[in-house]
Chains A and B, each alone.
Chain A
Amino acid sequence: MSLKLRNNQVKSSETRAICGLERLWGTSPLKSHYDVVLIGGGIHGLATAYYLAKEHGIKDVAVLERRYIGYGGSGRNTAIVRANQRTQENVKLYDEGLKLWPKLIDELDFNLMFFNCGNLNLAHSEAAVSAFRLAVSTANFCNVQSELLDPQQCKELVPALDISDRPYHPIHGGMYHGPGGIVRHDAVVWGLAKGAFKHGAHIHQGVEVLGIDTDGQKITGVQTNRGSISCNRLAVMAGGYSASVCEMVGMELPVHPLTIQAMVTQPLKPFLHHVVSSGAYHCYANQTLKGEVATGAHMDPQVNYSTTPTAWYMKHQAEALCEFLPCLKGVKFMRIWAGLADMTPDMAPIMDGNVMYDGLFIDVGWGYFGFKSGPITGKYMAEFIADDEAPDILKPFALNRFLENRYMGETAGATNYGHWN
């Protein structure tokens, strides 16, 4: 016998009084026309909707999400934020993004749990130290705090590190970036949804885009599982699924969806006070506010849409962690999950507008940087959509760089993801 909940239980004055239990974001009727339609209910789509509605007065906006908001990469990443990228173009954007978090928390009146713990990247070779020197100088030149550490300084910062010769890749130094940290990823999704809805945007969950309508050179709308919706402007911000959405208008993006996995250990009292990452081990670790050690980084190199985790990945991660943080040997893994990363050949995103069709905007190819850049990208994409002109900061990320063979320098080596390049 399943008991029906009595009305007075849900609405008991007690529960209401304490937390004002209204929905964080409301449901809206699905209209047949919107000025702007955003495909993808992740951080990018929601942030764009939020800024369109709040700062540009464009309130006739719909965010279409196939599953539930935050189902994709926004809810599956490990929530690291930083601004110590390799090139000036990137540092500028991410730095603004980093400075946005406190402001956003205030604006949304939602605690996004920004833990400004700083990021330590480990160098395991002389070459890696040189690479860090470039990143550190680049950051400092752009007025972003970053410093080069020797192994002893790394150890002082993170006492759990093994800086001896025992690990396969001994630690040669590190790059410490104080302004970085972690943010509660789900909270960003919910907070932005709350803000976007408050300013008038519609958020539709369970609406899957099946086709894109065009008329001559112009975007006219989308076909969905809930009927067709016409629109003046359309933006694709569908994370790992962006390439397949763009294919609906015959746009072949240089984007490869790859599976990326992450996992957490059982919760422990705080012992790791910074994000620690290691390129040589393909591994990063940080302790969440709940006390779990969250870890990930490696990517399965085959192009696919699978979000099923693999056993070898867990083994790889255990091996890596036990090397440079040997105190974790007796700690237990609790949960592993997988998501998609939409990788471009140069590991930098593609942000562009009026590509192929007037009114078609794309914000794709974020790979595994989509979280840290979310709100700031939404802000500038909103500006782009509203003004119909690319803001200067987004210009380096235009699609035609691939046609011209001008890659961005976010990674040094020629990338090996996807097909043989």
Chain B
Amino acid sequence: MRARLPEFPTQHIDRGQEISFSYLGKRMSGLGGDSVAVAMYDNGVRIFSRSLKYHRPRGLYSLDGESANTLMNIDGIPNENAEKRRLRDGMEVSAQNVRGRPDTDFYSFINWFDRFMPAGFYYRMFHRPYKLWPFFLNRIRKMAGVGTLDIHREFDDSRRFEIFLNADVAVIGGGTAGMNAALAAAGQGLRVCLFEHRAWLGGHMDWRVVEFEDEPLFERARGLAKQVEANTQIRLFTQAPVTGIWGNKLITAYQTGKDGEYFDERYIECRAKSVVVASGCIERPLVCNNNERPGVMQVNTAWRLARTYAITPGKRIVFSIGDDLGLEAALDLAELGLKVLAVADARSDKQNADLLTRLQSAGIEYLPGWAASNVKGGKHVRGVELSELNGSQTCSFKCDLLVASAGQQAVIGPLSTAGAKFRYCTETGLFQPTEMPPKMFSAGRMTGLTHPGSIDTSGTIAGLEAAAACDRDVSTNLDAARRAAAKLPGETKGCDLVYGPGIGAGRKAFICFDGDGTFKNAVQSASQGFDAPELAKRFGGFGLGPGQYQVPGQNLAMAMSNINGTPIENSQFTTVRPPLVPLTLATCVGPRHNIYKQTPLHRDQKARGGIFRNAGVWRRARYFSPDLDCRPEIRNVRENVGLLDGSSLGNFRIYGPDALRALQRVYVSNMEKSREGRCKYSAMCNETGNIVDDGVVTKVADDNYYFTTTSNRAGITIEWFRYHTRFDDWDFKLVNLTDSMGSINVAGPNARNLLQKVTKEDLSNEAFPYMAYKELIVGDGVSARCLRLGFVGELSFELHVAASHSQYVWDLLWEAGQEFKVHPFGMEAQNCLRAEKGHVIVGTESEQRVTLLDIGLGFLWDSNDTSSNKVGAPALRACENQQGRMKLVGFRVSESGVTPLDGDIVVDGNDIVGYVCTTRISESLDCSYGMALVKDGYATRGEKIRMCQALGKRHDEYTATVVPPQFYDPDGQRLRT
């Protein structure tokens, strides 16, 4: 660390806090408040990285992360912007995109080969002969990219959070315009959120020492900041860059935690009623030869190094500027004792006369109508050539710092993502908003104002307008503010310099730093037909790098209209895309959101050794057997009795005078036939006749039904009913009971014996037959809805009980089942059992090529019904007798050698004619069986079909016989006894 400039109130450093860090293994130190880049600069680092294409040395150009120049690897994380990252003790920093060290980069020779890399050269080279392309491809890949990601490094995301805010007025930009806007809105009693990307408020006033109304600008700004901080109506977010404004005034940002805060970074979403954007300006780079050499920096960079960080930016300084701020900076640095050799000003008139006088008295050479034309020096600036804009005169200076800018460009990002339209203003030289989205207002420098009073007043006006948009009556205040503004200076003349004099072909005059896009590349793009900025951007690679539009944005637009010879006021800015600043993925995620539903028996099932899988929004026990074949589970259900937690199954109540009509609409069967005390199995189709759901419906009482859906479908069942009855004005209520109920299936030959032990109700076959429904009292008076169903093909009772009673009932059954050696079973066992029985699962045995009829469930459809407009009925009718459709068949494989698997294909010659939906080896049948969807020509009983398993190079073929899919107990004896 070098000696810093004397203390001054504009500074934001803590001289008492020395921070040590390492850069490329070398120990360095900085002060509290330094950014990494600033501290590195102070330690003498001048080359921070190498450029993407030409490997040109790149240095500290901006301080707010406008380019990829200072992307570093910090603590193992690539592409960290050293300009924005606050220095911390022990940081390890290294350079990126270099082979060796940044100052002696091996690939720096590429800089000489730019002739062979015109715009779009990739597309014209390397492809002939084609067999060499993979070689070049790998070279290109290795040369591309910036940082290196360590894929094995664990990223600590434990301190990433998120907040979701609502505000009456959101203000973007904490400069004096933004602060005035926030105060004005807050003064109306509105809730305001203010977002500022720097760690402090004040914008570009923060380091300016000139006086306005007898007070230095920075003190004025700090006074205002104190008011903002003290205002309880304003929620202030500093270090919080806005990443975009989205539909309907949703603002996203992220905030970096200060020392001692509970988060590293947090993601912010703020929904505002109205928005003030006062995002200010950044500098527009001067496009001249070698304009990105280390040692060339923006006016505010040099200025802030000195004023904010007390660092000497250079020993011999030349300025080439385009606005009064440049003049003010030159004077200010000179007053700090720095050596300012000359100031070239791209403007020839309308300068601030007072500044010119002071410049003269300071003895600084001033060249109006001049600009830098060439920067000399290899790895660092050694001198600069200044030329008159018409090219008639040139002079050189030896210097180590060129402070260069072509004036300002508005930060159009936030407004642009919000949908505002911009137009180039020939007076101010800025792209200014011409059409604002509703309830959005702009203020400050981005509107072309430079006078501090005008900037402040514009903020007040915008804040009041935003308040008015929140229905506050602010007419008196607004009139007063507008009258005040009318007396203040308006828009000021800006700089319209497109490029510096003597640019020649512009071989090394960079419009885009990150993509190494030169002025020459822009010309080349245009001459190949890519003449609009949007096309040149893609073809020449302008503004596609990490800094996005910030460096090239306005310059590209101006250069293209210049090259095309079209009026500059018609020039177009390329689309600005969010995020406006790079957003770390872990920050965007915030805390991990993945949540799933647990059944009321989740913990119990886990304790019993359940192996869980995701099932839609649920997590369910799929296996209770480590071998995943589930043999013991299956055998136990077939021979004894098993318990299944089926709580994810959808349960619904529908009631009201039109409940039946609604059921008639969505179910394919005649639901008038559902009777009290009976379960009716039916299905729902979509409008193309695909089955989307199946389940049972029972009539509980008149106009009162209870029905089940598949687990997957439960979430959208209510919407489905509502959608398909939306024009009917029917009176029915629908309640989703899924989450409030648990479901336990008691299945197996001993099911009745077991269940009878916990209830007094008569469960005999006569009193409670197959497909019957009863409300039971079990144990100590818990009521349960009991459905006698048989999905798994055995005698079974499904008990639906309140979620809070589920564990009690399970325990009761478990206890009672001990004498039968009851065992739990999971989804996979259930899957095998039901497949043996030929029961389909929606989505497994059905797909979009087949209708309800094709999968053998045509018997459910009440095809005579024409009055209730059943969903899917027209489609079913249309393809009732169609040929050439796929059909669901059962098959058996008697061959040994190949084990059929789900997904095997059915083939005939060179054609694929179907595939296997589900197949398992059956212990009870002693063969492989399954269900397949095949074209109807192959669906005849007894047909021999060829199956093929081609999972790698080998194709295994085997033969199967088409059989009815009811393999097990085809007559249903076991269900009914």
Contact = CB atoms under 8 A, between A and B. Distances in A.
A68 B912 contact: no
A144 B147 CA distance: 36
Contact of B951 (A112, A140, A160, A336): A140
Interface in B869-915: 875, 878-879, 882, 884-885, 901-905, 907, 911-912, 915
Given A115-B137, A314-B588, A412-B847, A137 B130 contact: no
Contacts of A137: 903-905, 915, 948-951
Contact of B562 (A5, A88, A113, A159): A5
Contacts of B588: 314-315, 318-319, 333
B141 A191 contact: no
A126 interface: yes
Contacts of A18: 115-116, 118
A2 B951 contact: no
A105 B686 contact: no
Given A68-B532, A271-B151, A4 B583 contact: no
B444 to A, nearest CB: 25
B879 A405 contact: yes
Contacts of B878: 404-405
Contact of B127 (A106, A330, A406, A413): A106
A309 interface: yes
Interface in A246-303: 265-271, 280, 289-291
Given A21-B527, A327-B155, A405-B689, A336 B147 contact: no
A190 B539 contact: yes
A271 to B, nearest CB: 5
Interface string A165-182: 000110000000000000
A160 to B, nearest CB: 4
B585 A330 contact: yes
A267 B504 contact: no
A357 interface: no
B146 A266 contact: yes
Contacts of B690: 414
A207 to B, nearest CB: 15
Interface stretch (A7-15, A31-39, A231-239, A374-382): A7-15
A290 B905 contact: no
B122 interface: yes
B112 interface: no
A1 B848 contact: no
Interface string B213-247: 00000000000000000000000000000001011
B55 to A, nearest CB: 14
A308 B520 CA distance: 33
Nearest to B846: A414
A331 B948 contact: no
A15 B506 CA distance: 11
Interface string B130-164: 10011001001110111111111111010000000
B848 A409 contact: yes
Nearest to A19: B118
A334 B115 contact: no
Given A23-B529, A137-B951, A310-B247, A268 B903 contact: no
Given A10-B563, A308-B419, A141 B907 contact: yes
B903 A134 contact: yes
A1 B950 contact: no
A159 B151 contact: yes
A116 B875 CA distance: 43
Interface in A399-421: 404-409, 411-415, 420-421
Given A110-B124, A186-B538, A346-B848, A269 B596 contact: no
Contacts of A81: none
B585 A333 contact: yes
Contacts of B133: 111, 114
B720 interface: yes
A375 B527 CA distance: 26
Given A133-B904, A310-B246, A314-B583, A327 B844 contact: no
Contact of B548 (A329, A331, A334, A409): A334
A141 B948 contact: yes
B523 interface: yes
A407 B389 contact: no
Given A88-B911, A330-B584, A420-B723, A106 B144 contact: no
A130 interface: yes
B711 interface: no
A256 to B, nearest CB: 14
Contacts of A187: 122-123
Contacts of B583: 314, 332-333
A269 B585 contact: no
Contact of B155 (A14, A136, A159, A326): A326
A361 to B, nearest CB: 26
Nearest to B954: A140
B323 interface: no
B490 interface: no
A318 B535 CA distance: 29
Given A133-B903, A168-B594, A330-B586, A266 B147 contact: yes
B585 A111 contact: no
A322 interface: yes
A226 to B, nearest CB: 18
Given A140-B955, A191-B123, A314-B588, A22 B528 contact: yes
Size bin of chain B's contact surface: 35 or more
A215 B594 CA distance: 59
A308 B125 CA distance: 35
A360 interface: no
Of A24, A75, A269, A327, most B-chain CB atoms within 10 Å: A269
A14 to B, nearest CB: 6
Given A330-B586, A407-B848, A420-B723, A113 B122 contact: yes
Contacts of A141: 905, 907, 912, 948, 950, 955
Given A110-B124, A267-B144, A413-B848, A334 B252 contact: no
Interface in B560-609: 562-563, 565, 568, 575, 577-579, 582-586, 588-590, 592-594, 596
Nearest to A288: B144
Given A111-B125, A268-B146, A311-B250, A331 B688 contact: no
B258 to A, nearest CB: 20
A290 B563 CA distance: 27
Nearest to A402: B688
A132 interface: yes
A335 interface: yes
Contact of A126 (B534, B575, B613, B885): B613
A415 B952 contact: no
B307 to A, nearest CB: 30
B168 interface: no
B527 to A, nearest CB: 5
A138 interface: yes
Given A15-B118, A21-B524, A291 B585 contact: no
Contacts of B584: 329-333
Nearest to A158: B151
Contacts of A330: 77-78, 149, 153, 155, 584-586
Given A113-B122, A134-B905, A102 B911 contact: no
Given A268-B149, A330-B584, A405-B875, A291 B686 contact: no
Given A134-B915, A336-B579, A420-B724, 18 more contacts: A3-B498, A10-B563, A15-B505, A15-B520, A18-B115, A26-B529, A68-B534, A109-B127, A136-B951, A159-B151, A267-B144, A308-B419, A318-B588, A332-B546, A335-B544, A335-B578, A405-B875, A414-B688
Across the A-B interface, give the 3 residue pairs with the lowest CB-CB distance, nearest first. Answer: A291-B145, A133-B903, A130-B902
29 contacts: A1-B497, A3-B389, A3-B562, A5-B563, A9-B503, A15-B118, A15-B523, A18-B115, A87-B912, A102-B130, A106-B128, A113-B122, A126-B613, A133-B951, A138-B912, A266-B71, A267-B144, A271-B148, A291-B141, A310-B246, A314-B578, A318-B588, A322-B157, A334-B548, A345-B688, A405-B689, A407-B848, A407-B849, A413-B843
